[in-house]
Structure formats: C-alpha cells, structure tokens
C-alpha cells in the first residue's frame, strides 16, 4: 500500500486528493505547504504528488531527488527551465509531469493528435479554456498539453506555431498556427475545447471537468503506478496504457 505525500496539501487539489486516498487503497503520509520544509514529508512518503505553485516546484523536485522518492508534478505554469529540471531529475527518480490527471483529458489528447494528423494544414486549430477566477496561470497546463498533441499530429513544434491570445491589429491568421484563448470566472473547475475550423465546417473536441475528484483519483492512481517504475520521465498515457 503506497503512502502518498502531498505538496500543496491545504489547497483545492491537495484537499481533493487527501479525500480520495483511502477509497483507492493508499495511505496519506502527510503534506507540506508554503513555508514548510519539503524534505520532511519526502522522507516519510513512498511517493509524492505536487499540486502547489510553480514557484515551489524546484524545491519539491530537489527534496524528491535528495530522498530518492518518486514524484508526480501536477502543478502547472512551469517554465522551460523547470521542464529541463524534470528531465534531469528523471535520470535519478521516477517522475511524472502532466497538466491534467483525468482519464478524459488523456483520451482527448489522443483524439486531438489524430484529428490534427488526419485533417492536415487546411484546418485551423484554436484551443479555448475556461477556469475559476482563482487560477493564476494561463493558458492552462491542459490547453498547452492539447496544443502539444495537435502539434505532434501536424508534425511541428508547438514552440514554433503557438499563438497565445490576440489583441489589436494582429493581421490575418497565419496558416499552421495553433491559437490559445483563456477565460476566467466563477468556480469553473476546468473546461477545454479544441476547435478545428475548415472551409465551411468545424469539428469541436472538448472536455468539461465538473468535480476535482476526477483529477484527484487520476493523481492517486498515477502515484500508485509511479512507485513501481524505474527512474524516468512519464506521462498519463503510460499510466493508463493509452
């Protein structure tokens, strides 16, 4: 039975994860929030999950490495340097990074990749997301992941084709770009829509999260899986066998 430590324990996700741990046959090792030493909990847990803040992730990865503890990074808004840090950590410990731990979004990513591949460059791709008013990063980690999936399907690098937001005289849409729009308001848990706009028709693939429990259950299952893996960088696809 894996014992799970939570970075960001008192946050929305930390509370949702603590609530589902018993029903999934795991145990709760404890948590750490801002101002607490991350190594304390890393020493006690079999596996760590991080749903905190981007600014805290480096210290959490350092604690996981120092104690050789597998870690799932669910926190979003990560920089390129942080992705490089995750790659480096993956040489030493099992580490899973994902912007979304739900089964639905993992499947949606697959569908988006396939649609982008089959439809080709004549179809414009736009990604719209909406989240609650407290969310601090944009576009969401999920939207960026869906963008990566579309770019893979198109055989291009997202860093070269992504367009985040539009305002003013931006000119006509450049072919082959992937646009992102972020809406914020109320208590929306997480809505994502990927629009493929062709000549005279549109395909829309989407996902709506109604309850954080879907992310929480996915995170606990992924943590239970991660604890049995060799060092390396993993995604939800590997956990779900997609």
Of the pair 138, 154, the CB lying nearest ligand NDP is at 138
Residue 142 counted as an annotated binding residue: yes
Smallest separation (angstroms) from ligand NDP to the CB of 36:
7
Q: Does 14 bind ligand LZUJQKHR (CB under 6 A)?
A: no
> Site residues for ligand LZUJQKHR, window 105-134 (CB under 6 A)?
131
- 131 as an active site residue: the answer is yes
Q: Give whichever of 38 and 190 is closer to ligand LZUJQKHR, judged by the CB atom.
A: 190
Q: Is 82 in the site for ligand LZUJQKHR (CB under 6 A)?
A: no
> Any idea of the CA torsion for 81, 240, 137, 167, to the nearest 10 degrees?
100
Q: Which member of 44, 60, 83, 135 is catalytic?
A: 135
Which CB sits closer to ligand LZUJQKHR, 186 or 200?
A: 186
Residue found under tokens 């089959």: 118
Task: For the beta carbon of residue 160, count every other beta carbon within 10 angstroms.
Answer: 10
**Contact residues for 102 (Cβ-Cβ < 8 A; gap 6+):** 207, 209, 214, 215, 218
| Sheet containing 162-164: order of strands | 162-164, 178-184, 124-131, 190-197, 202-209
* Binding status of residue 221 toward ligand LZUJQKHR by CB under 6 A: no
114: three-class secondary structure by DSSP: helix
Question: Which residues are at the interface with ligand NDP (CB under 6 A)?
Answer: 7-8, 10-14, 33-34, 51-53, 55-56, 74-77, 98-101, 141, 215
User: Is 221 a known active-site residue?
Assistant: no
Distance (Å, whole) CA 129 – CA 208? 10
How many residues touch ligand LZUJQKHR under the rule CB under 6 A: the total is 9
Cα–Cα distance, 190 to 131 (Å, whole number) = 5
Q: Is 100 annotated as a binding residue?
A: yes
Closest CB 96 distance from ligand NDP, rounded Å: 10
Which residue of the set 60, 131, 192, 207 is catalytic?
A: 131
| Cis? peptide before 139, omega within 30° of 0 | yes
What the block records as the tokens of 148 is 């990566």
Binding stretches for ligand LZUJQKHR (CB under 6 A): 76, 99-100, 131, 135, 140-142, 190
């Amino acid at each position: 039975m894996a014992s799970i430590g939570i970075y960001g324990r008192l946050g929305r996700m930390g509370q949702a994860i603590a609530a589902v741990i018993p029903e999934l046959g795991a145990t709760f090792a404890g948590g750490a929030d801002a101002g607490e030493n991350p190594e304390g909990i890393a020493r006690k847990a079999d596996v760590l999950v991080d749903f905190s803040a981007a600014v805290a992730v480096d210290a959490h990865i350092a604690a996981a490495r120092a104690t050789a503890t597998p870690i799932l990074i669910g926190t979003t808004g990560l920089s390129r340097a942080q992705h490089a840090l995750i790659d480096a950590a993956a040489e030493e410990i099992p580490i899973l990074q994902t912007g979304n731990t739900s089964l639905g979004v993992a499947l949606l990513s697959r569908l988006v990749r396939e649609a982008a591949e089959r439809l080709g460059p004549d179809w414009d791709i736009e990604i719209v997301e909406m989240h609650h008013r407290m969310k601090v990063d944009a576009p969401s980690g999920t939207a960026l992941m869906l963008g990566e999936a579309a770019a893979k399907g198109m055989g291009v690098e997202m860093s070269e084709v992504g367009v985040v937001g539009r305002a003013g005289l931006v000119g006509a849409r450049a072919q082959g770009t992937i646009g992102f729009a972020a809406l914020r308001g109320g208590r929306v848990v997480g809505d994502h829509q990927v629009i493929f706009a062709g000549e005279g028709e549109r395909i829309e693939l989407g996902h709506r999260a109604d309850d954080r429990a879907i992310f929480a259950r996915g995170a606990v299952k992924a943590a239970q899986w991660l604890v049995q893996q060799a060092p390396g960088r993993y995604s939800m696809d590997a956990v779900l066998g997609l």
